[in-house]
């Protein structure tokens, strides 16, 4: 039997133990599904993601968009293209638009202001995922109506974080996340599973941090080695451990919005369905327009490429129904703790 209290209290030794084996998985998965149903219900929220630029000034060792990668055709969508795409997403009935990119200073504070203001007119929630920007920018964009900010902490091990992000620190990443929280954003953290050198203890630290931050959104996916990066020969994350971490995240932060990630679906054709069964309650259909979509190439084997631009919407709705869950029709804000039984 798993000790639920120890998981909820993020007992680091206990977490390390249950993360290091698949012995408890059946019970962890069942508990995560029950907690999901109790705290956030059976609705799965759709978030339409526009990956609007694959330029990046950063050097994250794992990522295909890193500045040093010369084997990538770079693109930037114009503000008009982004707004047009957002209109189409709103017409499809999706109530959250996620704007994601590499860290790309081409998009100035003012350009993002204009994009946010235009998209807010469409009666949708906006999630930004632009990497680290200035605290002043976060403040201005929040005032203009941006609702959420996604910025994974990537790993809560300070040593591993420093190795993967030359010249940067976990402390700095956390400072950004706490500032986003302070400004009133629904704040998304999260991490990769299967990073080189990552231990069960490191993964336990990830759960401790999610609880400490009280993350509103939690993105967890397997690390997938990219041949155009320094980590090309690494092994990468496996399905079972990634599902275990998603389920444990649900138990640790019961009301968080947790996506069944694209990376999970990329390492196994049924990966996202399993994610939804074991605690996830969000899907992010890819609505990046072609011809750009294939070039947002974080890792090889990324699903949903070359499809008809909007095919992912029907596909994800079908997926939600196939696991017996309901397609959410609202904005999908985090459920407030007060309303919990
Ligand atoms: N640039 C922004 C940032 O870093 O927050 C947003 C875009 S970034 C590409 C989105 C996420 O992709 C990262 O947080 C990282 O976890 C994930 N990612 C990057 N490379 C990956 C890889 N090789 N395998 C799995 N996930 C990866
Ligand atoms: Fe850039 Fe984000 Fe990739 Fe890092 S993870 S290289 S910041 S796009």
Reduced to 3 states (helix: H, G, I; strand: E, B; else coil), residue 24 is coil
pLDDT at residue 337 in the model: 66
Percent of the chain with pLDDT over 90: 96
Supply the pTM of this predicted model: 0.98
Q: What is the 55 CA–ligand 2 centroid distance (Å)? A: 9
Tell which atom from ligand 1 comes closest to the C-alpha of 56: 1
Q: Residue written as tokens 């709705």?
A: 317
* Residue at 258 is within a domain: yes
Mutation test residue for ligand 1: of 63, 215, 221, 302, the one with most atoms within 8 Å of CB: 63
For residue 101, the ligand 2 atom closest to its alpha carbon is 8
Domain extent at residue 82 = 4-333
What was the pLDDT predicted at 341? Answer: 42
Closest protein CA for atom 4 of ligand 1: 131
Number of structural domains (the chain) is: 1
Least confident residue range of 31-35, 181-185, 307-311, 328-332 = 307-311
The alpha carbon of 58 and the centre of ligand 2 are apart by a number of angstroms equal to 6
Q: Ligand 1 in contact with 310 (CB < 6 A)?
A: no
Going by pLDDT thresholds of 50, 70 and 90, the confidence category of residue 308 is confident
Angle between helices 109-120 and 79-91 (to 10 degrees): 20
Cα-to-centroid distance, 284 and ligand 1 (Å): 14
CB atoms within 10 A of CB 206: 29
Q: Which CATH number covers residue 96?
A: 3.20.20.70
Average pLDDT in the 13-40 region?
98
Cis upstream peptide for 291 (omega within 30°): yes
Kindly provide the b/e burial profile for residues 127-159, where b requires at least 16 CB atoms within 10 angstroms of the residue's own CB. Answer: bbbbbebeeebbebbbebebbbbbbbbbbbbee
For ligand 1, whether the C-beta of 221 sits within 6 Å is yes
**What are the tens digits of pLDDT across the range 57-90?**
999 999 999 999 999 999 999 999 999 999 999 9
Identify whether 340 is part of a domain.
Answer: no
Task: Determine the atom of ligand 2 nearest the C-alpha atom of 131.
Answer: 7
Q: What is the mean pLDDT of residues 265-275?
A: 98
Give the pLDDT confidence score for residue 340 in this predicted structure.
Answer: 47
Contact assessment for residue 115 and residue 84, using Cβ atoms and an 8 Å cutoff: no
Would 281 be classed as within a structural domain? Answer: yes
Q: Is the pLDDT of residue 339 over 70?
A: no
Please check whether residue 339 lies inside any domain of the structure.
no
Ligand 2 surroundings by CB, under 6 angstroms: 56, 58, 60, 63, 65-66, 102-103, 131
Res 154: pLDDT? 99
User: What is the 3-class SS of 87-101, one letter each residue?
Assistant: HHHHHCCCCEEEEEE
Assess if residue 341 is contained within a domain. Answer: no
Q: Per the domain annotation, does 173 fall within a domain?
A: yes
Q: Order of strands across the sheet with 186-193? A: 48-53, 96-101, 125-129, 148-150, 186-193, 217-222
Q: What is the ipTM of this complex?
A: 0.99
Which pLDDT does position 336 carry in this prediction?
82
| Ligand nearest, relative to CA of residue 222 | 1
Cα(209)–Cα(191) distance, integer angstroms: 11
């Amino acid at each position: 039997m798993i000790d639920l209290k120890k998981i909820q209290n993020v007992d680091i030794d206990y977490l390390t133990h249950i993360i290091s084996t698949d012995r408890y998985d059946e019970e962890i998965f069942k508990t995560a599904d029950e907690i999901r149903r109790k705290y956030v219900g059976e609705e799965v929220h759709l978030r339409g993601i526009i990956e609007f630029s694959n330029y990046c000034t950063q050097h994250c060792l794992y990522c295909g968009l890193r500045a040093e990668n010369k084997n990538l055709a770079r693109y930037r969508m114009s503000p008009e293209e982004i707004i047009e795409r957002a209109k189409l997403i709103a017409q499809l009935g999706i109530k959250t638009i996620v704007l994601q990119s590499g860290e790309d200073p081409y998009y100035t504070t003012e350009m993002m202001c204009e994009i946010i203001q235009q998209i807010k007119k469409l009666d949708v929630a906006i999630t930004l995922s632009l990497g680290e920007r200035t605290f002043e920018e976060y403040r201005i964009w929040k005032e203009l109506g941006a609702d959420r900010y996604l910025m994974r902490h990537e790993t809560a091990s300070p040593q591993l974080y420093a190795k993967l992000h030359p010249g940067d620190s976990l402390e700095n990443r956390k400072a950004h996340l706490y500032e986003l929280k302070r400004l009133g954003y629904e704040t998304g953290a999260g991490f990769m599973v299967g990073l080189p050198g990552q231990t069960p203890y490191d993964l336990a630290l990830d759960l401790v941090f999610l609880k400490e931050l009280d993350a509103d959104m939690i993105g967890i996916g397997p690390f997938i080695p990219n041949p155009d990066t320094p980590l090309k020969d690494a092994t990468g994350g496996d399905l079972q451990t990634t599902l275990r971490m998603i389920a444990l995240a649900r138990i640790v932060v019961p009301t968080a919005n947790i996506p069944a990630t694209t990376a999970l679906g990329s390492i196994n054709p049924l990966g996202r369905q399993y994610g939804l069964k074991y605690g996830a309650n969000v899907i992010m259909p890819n609505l990046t327009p072609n011809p750009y979509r294939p070039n947002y190439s974080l890792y090889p084997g990324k699903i949903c490429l070359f499809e008809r631009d909007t095919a992912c919407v029907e596909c994800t709705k079908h997926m939600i129904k196939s696991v017996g869950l309901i397609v959410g029709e609202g904005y999908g804000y985090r459920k407030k703790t007060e309303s919990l039984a």
